[in-house]
Amino acid sequence: MLEMKAFFVRREWCRCRTCETYQACGAEIEQRWSVVEQRIAEVGPMLRYVFDDTEYNERCSDVFVALSNINDVDMVRYMRVLLFRIPWVEDGTAHQIIKLVRATSDPVEDCQNFPSSEVIGAKLKSFVVNHFFRRSYLAKTLNTPDPDAEVLEKFGSCAFMYESVVDKVVEKMRCRPSALLSHMRDSVLSRLRAAARYAKYYQVIAFKVGDQRGGASLESRDLRTGVLYIPDLVNFPVLDAFYFVDAPPQDATAVGRAGARCACANWTIVCLQMTNQDNHDTTTGAVVGFMARMREWIRDWDVVKEQLSWEMIYVQHRDAKAMDRKQVSAMADRR
């Protein structure tokens, strides 16, 4: 993105020719950059498409056709694309919705696929989630003795839509002590009756990308317990999915939170992160990004987040290194 903006600035400078003209046209230049930025979000950072109106419109049409032609056979492939686990394959149409990226892990360098843009990535994720979260596929996957680590990493949250699986999770869950509490607090799921522990439905949340219109926006009163909310963004910060359960906080100090009580005052947000990685500490930037996205989705989020109790559940493949301590978040250590 920085290279694209540098090219744009140089182009505008050459158009204006003088410093005075460039400064006088500042508002107009900013508006033109907003258009370019949105085009990058739509089709990807490619000069020939984002700076030419005709080429951009043709590219949008090609992307629409490519996305419309995705079938069930393609779903496994695109699931692996979202997991960065597939080598580059040239079939004449792949470049319209996925791009080749260089992945390095010393001393190995590899070429892999990634969605061409944020908008395309969100659409691909919505397609894949709606395909793999079908009950028939879930039953088949969850009955496999050793589910593929890649499938678990991206779609393991689907397991929380099965009562029997959540019961087993509660039975085998290992809680880590908080540095702020003298005792180890049990999972909120262990305090609920079986029927209230798991999500009955799922909903893909369409977040705004760039200046794109149509992003999700609602009030806290529209939230529901028992619904697994799945962000459509490929790199959504902090978590992969979450759902709400109706359970008051276990510690008495949390009951008297200041502020007006909202409809979800007794709720706990169960945050799910599926991973086979060893490092799970949440960075300050990730927390800031998460809060910004939640504020975008729930208009009264600043009130809601103070009323909720929070629980983070990490789901790991058996080959992953087990956690032996509470995970760290610089901004959210009080949670």
One DSSP character per residue, 1-61 reads: -HHHHHHHHHHHHHHH-SHHHHHHTHHHHHHHHHHHHHHHHHH-S-HHHHS-HHHHHHHHH
Q: Which residues pair with 313 in a beta bridge?
A: 272
Per-residue pLDDT tens over the stretch 266-308: 899 999 987 755 555 577 888 899 999 999 999 999 999 888 8
- 120 close to 81: Cβ distance less than 8 angstroms: no
> From the CB of residue 189, how many other CB atoms can be counted at a distance below 10 Å?
22
Per-residue pLDDT tens over the stretch 47-90: 889 999 999 999 999 999 988 888 887 887 787 777 666 666 66
Q: Please report, to the nearest 10 degrees, the dihedral formed by the alpha carbons of residues 135, 136, 142, 147 taken in order.
A: -120
At residue 159, does pLDDT exceed 70?
yes
Give the type of residue at 2: L
Q: According to the model, what pLDDT value does residue 219 have?
A: 86
Per-residue pLDDT tens over the stretch 23-38: 888 888 888 999 999 9
CA 231/CA 108 separation, integer angstroms = 32
* Per-residue confidence band for 334, with pLDDT thresholds at 50, 70 and 90: very low
The number of CA neighbours under 13 Å toward the Cβ of 144 is: 13
- 303 close to 259: Cβ distance less than 8 angstroms: yes
Q: According to the model, what pLDDT value does residue 248 have?
A: 67
- 81 close to 100: Cβ distance less than 8 angstroms: no
Residue 300 CA to chain centroid, in angstroms? 20
Q: 199 CB contacts (<8 Å, ≥6 apart)? A: 160, 161, 226, 227, 228, 243
